[in-house]
Amino acid sequence: MRMFWLAPVLLACCGNVDGMKERRATLDFVREAFTPSKVEGSLIEAERANIPVALANTTRPLVMVEQPGLDLADFFVLAARSGDIATYGSSSQASISFDGPVMVATRGFGADLMSGDAGSLPDLLAARQSGQYKRVVRYLDGENQTISYPVQCNLEAGDKGTFVEYCGSPYQEFRNVFELSKQGKVVTSIQWHGPDNSYLTIRRLR
Amino acid sequence: MTISIVRTAIFPCLLVAQQVSAQTDPQLSYSMYGTIGLIDMPTAQSAPDAELATTLSGYKGDFRTALTFQISDRFFGTFRYAGFDENVYTATPGDSSKLIFDRSFDIGFRFLDETSVRPAMSIGLRDLAGTGLLSSEYIVATKQLTRNMDVTAGIGWGRLGSYNSIGSTGTRTNETVDEGGVPSVDQWFRGDYAFFGGFGVNLSPNLRFEAEYSSDNYSDAQSAGELDRKTPWNFGLDYRLGPSTQMSLYALHGSEVGAQLTFLINPKVATVTGGREEAPIPIFGRAPEAVTNTDWAIYPQPGVETALSQALARDGLTLRGLELSAQRATLRFSNPRFNASPQAFGRAARSMANTLPASVEVFDLIPVQNGLALSKITVRRSDLEAFEFREAEAMQKRVAVTDAASAPRPIVDGAYPSFGWGIEPYVETGFFDPDRPIRIDVGVRARAIVRPTYNTKISGAVVKRAFGNLAKTPIDNSGDLYPVRTNYPRYLTDGDPGMENLYFASFGRPTTNVFSRVSLGYLESMYAGVSGEVLWKPVDSRLGLGVELNYVQQRDFDRQFGLQDYDVATGHVSAYYEFDNGYYGQIDAGRYLAGDVGATFTVDRTFSNGWRVGAFATFTDASAEDFGEGSFDKGIRVVIPTSWILGTARQSELTLDLQPIQRNGGARLIVPDRLYPALQSYHKAEIDRGFGRFWR
């Protein structure tokens, strides 16, 4: 009982020596993991209701990314361009990069798409043409080695201004959907992120 | 008596299910020995490479817990801690309600792979050293007959040759070599041998039925009157609760019911591949016209260093110094966050690309620890811009890793002297005291560090136990060696609170490829003195060679400033080698604290995500009698990176030291800030291995 005063320090770390900040962050991380979400109902639905606010908060290009499998959603603002690739960042410190409308990298999602070659898909979508092409998606494995998956793809016109992409390889296959506006821009797409996160829904808001 | 006292940052309870591999073949199951097998009998199958299994099994009067590691595709090793009814253990009348615990080691090797017509075949040794209570040897074959059924047949010696034996290969004694812990080579594959076998049927993806004909007569338990073995047939049901957990129920010997829990971890399978930490800031790129503008070098712009410092801090990195010229920048930084150094390099390089003037094309990044320049990687800014969305290997080919001894040494103005402090909890564990197999202390450690200059520090730590029972570990000072370690419980009793350490240390780079350290003061709880170390380790070499010399005196038990009479000159010559297949070897040869002379051999399987699973053994000229139980110092170490558990970037790690006996022979001084561990991650072999995280 006389050791009662020690209880608070057994549950916390404080100080400024190397590593202390990290340990503090670890404890915060664990605590957050056990903190229930304050949002009632679907988080995706809640974020969709915030679209007008998100648009009002920035004049920059904006996308909304939904992870239906985990009921997660967030807004991403254009942060940087590098050649054909545009990277968008979120306030939750995640990022997603596109080659045209095609997702080619993510960070902060977990099991991230480290990089990808979109092949001729951006050009085909821009021209609203069907076609066949090769793509590559790359991930890290548990030992930080890059795993590249080449996939053979086929883009076909679908219903109501959509284009559907079928990709396959001995290791994975997926079906992406790109919904085009009358001006020919992809406004909404459902794209394969990877085996862990499955499909993402990407809404181009501006 | 077996006593072990180990120091760990946190004791990771491997007995808790964790997210693990989905690799484990559903047909595989772990036996009561903790190895791949049927119920008591082994099979020739192997677990997935690197799988780490913890098993808890038993029935009345027989409890076993084991840790099995699939060291390679074909080779496994097992450490077991088994408790036996005292009547069985001693073969003399005892207390049947009391369990006596005994450690044992197994190894096994699959020497033949299964084909369509041929079974897989393995050879193995159980309880290969020491008292040999569970010792046996076997050669076994297993064939998958159908998708859901496998059959096993084998021949065994020792316990596995004790029932219905069909022949004999010489005489088998039950003598323990020296004081135990020594391989009983003379007994291997000696004595009676017998057939054993069985089969397993997968009733569903999660449920497996097993039946075996056991050639273990359990003569010890029967003669003690603790077991009525009515039949050699055992039956079992294994139920998989997921990829990481197996629950088993057994009908044993026709008279007993047993149960088992199995937990699986595979270091090769990440909880979150690539981690879930925040995204790096993307590279903004440069305006072409700005690239040739070097006016800023003549009229320096204020704030560049501040901007870079803030960008680095966003990623948990610390700016230690920056030297800028029109086209080249040298950054010294420390990385207390990322355990994969390429990720720290990638983040730091991005920060430089986004904050330094556009004309600066070449970046030299120098990670530092305690002022030591560990290595230097050189990247071109235009490569960073061009390869940001390419595979990491493309960038890797453009990165140069060189020595940093002669590199510029910019230091942030006003950075020194500096002061740091911290208060944190600690957990210290001790294993294998027969009275209490696991002992644990939980307490608080307060630390303070003063850094007078970039490469010197004065560091101290005070600990106070909150609760625990390590101090109650019985002290056994038998043998002729001076009690250099066995009195440790007295330090915990008399020195609480106590000064864990208080020392001055200075670090240097005397010349290319050479690192140095001098430490002076209260180096650890039990010793004070002076320690010097020199390490030769080229950045692109897999070999490192070091020399460490110490002169120390034993501290008073109260862990204050006083010293006892015992003093000793101790030191080692060390060789470190990182094999290109993920194995790491280390040899430390020299004089130990008790004055005994010998060498410590360490072998680790290492993973680029920070996991390490290894073992060590120390052989000195101290006799087995002087050393005591176990005959020589040895142990197993499992290091689990926090980042692997949490799935986010952390440099800390959990260490499980299964060190059977902490005796006085083969005892090394504990010196803070040894050189090789500090630089290992920043040299070419490890950088190359984890380079996939450069863009993470």
Average pLDDT score over residue span B176-193: 77
Judge contact between A190 and A176, C-beta under 8 A. yes
Residue owning tokens 């690739």: A85
B637: in domain: no
Is there a contact between A79 and B281 if contact means CB atoms under 8 Å apart?
yes
Judged by a CB distance cut-off of 8 A, whether residue A91 touches chain B is no
Is there a contact between A87 and B275 if contact means CB atoms under 8 Å apart?
no
Judge contact between B661 and B488, C-beta under 8 A. no
Is there a contact between B423 and A9 if contact means CB atoms under 8 Å apart?
yes
Rounded to whole angstroms, the Cα distance separating B528 from B511 reads 29
Nearest to B629 by CA among B656, B663, B597: B663
B7-25: per-residue pLDDT in tens? 333 333 333 333 333 334 4
Q: Is the pLDDT of residue B176 over 80?
A: no
According to DSSP, the residues that pair with A103 across neighbouring strands are A98
Q: How many domains does chain B have?
A: 1
B243: in domain: yes
A60-87: per-residue pLDDT in tens? 999 999 998 888 899 999 999 988 999 9
- At B536 the pLDDT is 98
Separation in Å, CA of B374 to nearest CA in chain A: 17
3-state secondary structure B338-365: CCCHHHHHHHHHHHHHHHCCCCCCEEEE
Judge contact between B30 and B259, C-beta under 8 A. no
Separation in Å, CA of A63 to nearest CA in chain B: 17
B147-162: per-residue pLDDT in tens? 899 999 999 999 999 9
Residue owning tokens 């096994």: B108
Q: Which of residues 247-266 of B touch A (CB under 8 A)?
A: 266
Average pLDDT score over residue span B85-105: 69
**Closest residue of chain B to A117, computed from CA coordinates:** B390
Distances (CA, A) of A17 to A20, B318, B460, B523, B668: 6, 12, 12, 19, 27
Average pLDDT, chain B: 89
**Torsion angle of alpha carbons B612, B627, B7, A2, nearest 10°?**
160
B430-476: per-residue pLDDT in tens? 887 767 778 889 999 999 999 999 999 999 999 999 999 888 888 88
**Closest residue of chain B to A92, computed from CA coordinates:** B278
Residue owning tokens 């809640």: A46
Judged by a CB distance cut-off of 8 A, whether residue B286 touches chain A is no
> Which residues on B lie below 8 Å from A114 (Cβ)?
274, 391-392, 692, 695-696
Average pLDDT score over residue span B623-652: 85
B290: in domain: no
Judged by a CB distance cut-off of 8 A, whether residue A102 touches chain B is no
Q: Which two tokens stand for residue B104?
A: 């044992």
Write the residue in B342, B466, B692 that is nearest to A6 by C-beta. Answer: B466
Q: Which two tokens stand for residue A6?
A: 């020690």
Q: Tell me the pLDDT band of B187, cut-offs 50, 70 and 90.
A: confident
B354: in domain: no
Is there a contact between A144 and B692 if contact means CB atoms under 8 Å apart?
yes
Average pLDDT score over residue span B264-275: 90
ipTM: 0.90
> Which residues on B lie below 8 Å from A15 (Cβ)?
420-424, 447
Average pLDDT score over residue span B593-598: 95
Separation in Å, CA of A160 to nearest CA in chain B: 33
Write the residue in B270, B283, B421 that is nearest to A17 by C-beta. Answer: B421
Q: How many CB pairs under 8 A join A and B?
A: 167
* Diameter of chain B measured on Cα atoms: 94
- At A9 the pLDDT is 55
Q: What is the DSSP letter of B625?
A: H
Judged by a CB distance cut-off of 8 A, whether residue B334 touches chain A is yes
B254: in domain: yes
**Closest residue of chain A to B393, computed from CA coordinates:** A146
Judged by a CB distance cut-off of 8 A, whether residue A46 touches chain B is no
**Torsion angle of alpha carbons B336, B338, B343, B347, nearest 10°?**
-50
Q: Is the pLDDT of residue B523 over 50?
A: yes
Average pLDDT score over residue span B649-667: 83
B249: in domain: yes
> Which residues on A lie below 8 Å from B690 (Cβ)?
144
Any idea what the CATH number is for the domain that residue B70 is in?
A: 2.40.160.40
Q: Tell me the pLDDT band of B236, cut-offs 50, 70 and 90.
A: very high
Judged by a CB distance cut-off of 8 A, whether residue A159 touches chain B is no
Residue owning tokens 């808790």: B16
Judged by a CB distance cut-off of 8 A, whether residue A27 touches chain B is no
> Which residues on B lie below 8 Å from A82 (Cβ)?
282-283, 285, 385, 388-389
- At B20 the pLDDT is 37
**Closest residue of chain A to B611, computed from CA coordinates:** A143
B425 Cβ contact list (under 8 Å, min separation 6): A9, A10, A11, A13, B442, B443, B444, B445
B177: in domain: yes
High-pLDDT (> 90) share of chain B, %: 71
B20, B273, B312, best to mutate vs chain A, most A CBs in 10 Å: B273
B104-147: per-residue pLDDT in tens? 899 999 999 999 999 999 999 999 887 778 899 999 999 999 98
Give one DSSP letter per residue of B72-101, joined into a string: SSSEEEEEEEEEEEHHHHHSSS--TT-EEE
Judged by a CB distance cut-off of 8 A, whether residue B388 touches chain A is yes
Q: Which of residues 99-138 of B touch A (CB under 8 A)?
A: none
Q: Is the pLDDT of residue B28 over 90?
A: no
Write the residue in A80, A110, A143 that is nearest to B608 by C-beta. Answer: A143
B213: in domain: yes
Is there a contact between A95 and B282 if contact means CB atoms under 8 Å apart?
yes
The pLDDT profile of chain A, 206 residues, written as one tens digit per residue, is: 445 555 555 556 787 777 676 677 776 776 676 666 666 778 888 888 999 999 999 999 999 999 988 888 999 999 999 889 999 999 999 999 999 999 999 999 999 999 999 999 999 999 999 999 999 999 999 999 999 999 999 999 988 889 999 999 988 899 999 999 988 899 999 999 998 899 999 999 98
B542-588: per-residue pLDDT in tens? 999 999 999 999 999 999 999 999 999 999 999 999 998 899 999 99
Which residue range is the domain that position B137 belongs to? 52-265
Judge contact between A176 and A185, C-beta under 8 A. no
Is there a contact between B650 and A110 if contact means CB atoms under 8 Å apart?
no
- At B128 the pLDDT is 86
Rounded to whole angstroms, the Cα distance separating B165 from A109 reads 60
Average pLDDT score over residue span B370-382: 96
Nearest to B636 by CA among B619, B653, B661: B661
Per the model's pLDDT, the better-predicted residue between A129 and B187 turns out to be: A129
- Domains detected in chain A: 4-33 (no CATH), 43-204 (2.40.360.10)
According to DSSP, the residues that pair with B367 across neighbouring strands are B333
> Which residues on B lie below 8 Å from A112 (Cβ)?
274, 696
> Which residues on B lie below 8 Å from A27 (Cβ)?
none
Q: Is the pLDDT of residue B384 over 50?
A: yes
> Which residues on B lie below 8 Å from A7 (Cβ)?
466
Judged by a CB distance cut-off of 8 A, whether residue B273 touches chain A is yes
Is there a contact between B283 and A105 if contact means CB atoms under 8 Å apart?
no
Q: What is the DSSP letter of B175?
A: P
- At B15 the pLDDT is 34
Judged by a CB distance cut-off of 8 A, whether residue B402 touches chain A is no
